[in-house]
Amino acid sequence: MSRDDEVKWDTQHAQSQVGEQPSSFLRQMIEADAWPLPRGRALDVACGKGRNALYLAELGFEVVAMDISSVALAAGRSRAEARQLTIDWRQTDLEEVRLDEAGFDLIVNFNYLQRSLMAQIKRALKLGGYVIYETYLIDQKEIGHPKNPAYLLGHNELLESFGDLRVLYYREGKFSNGGEASYRAGILAQKNY
């Protein structure tokens, strides 16, 4: 595990006051009547303090939550215990992880872009499983953080990356997530091969 990355993210999570509400895009995708997602085993990639993992556990998913930050995971674990929720919290360097093949019914990834992980996410889905993924677009660098193009999606990049799955919903643009608006791309797709 990269000690530098762990320290960087521990510091950031110790100083941040991220809200407790799950991503509005996640809620929209989960609560949509058009594609009722069956409850099963879910993975929250780069979970931070666990706002999305907690939401999924409350809905009846068996959740695995991965992040490099022990500070973030401890905060998430504390919040889960207070709500009497069981979540498998795993300190993981996502640049080194090997996800279980066909191990998950749902994988969610928010505000984290590691292009090399996308193929693993697809392999880690069970047949019929879903991915819900949302992160920043290249346009975001003009209005705020992040600015590094390595962490920003190109136009249609997310759609192309998951285009071999059955795409149920896709969007790009400037959206609010309960706070300031940011440029984002989001997708809901199902593994059908």
Is 3:69 a contact under the CB 8 Å cutoff?
no
| Distance (Å) of CA 96 to CA 58, 91, 100, 116 | 29, 12, 13, 10
CATH number for the domain including 168?
3.40.50.150
Task: Answer yes or no: is 129 within a domain.
Answer: yes
pLDDT at 13: 38
Confirm whether 45 is domain-assigned.
yes
Evaluate whether residue 105 is within a structural domain.
yes
pLDDT for 126-179, tens place per residue?
999 999 999 999 999 999 999 999 999 999 999 999 999 999 999 999 998 767
Return mean pLDDT, the chain: 91
| Residue in the block written with tokens 């022990």 | 70
Torsion of CA 69, 72, 77, 78, to 10 degrees: 140
Domain that holds residue 150: 3-9+20-190
In a domain, 14, yes or no: no
The mean pLDDT of 79-96, rounded to a whole number, is 97
Q: Total structural domains in the chain?
A: 1
Residue 15 domain-assigned (yes or no): no
Coil, strand, or helix at residue 145?
Answer: coil
| Residue 187 banded pLDDT, cuts 50, 70, 90 | very high
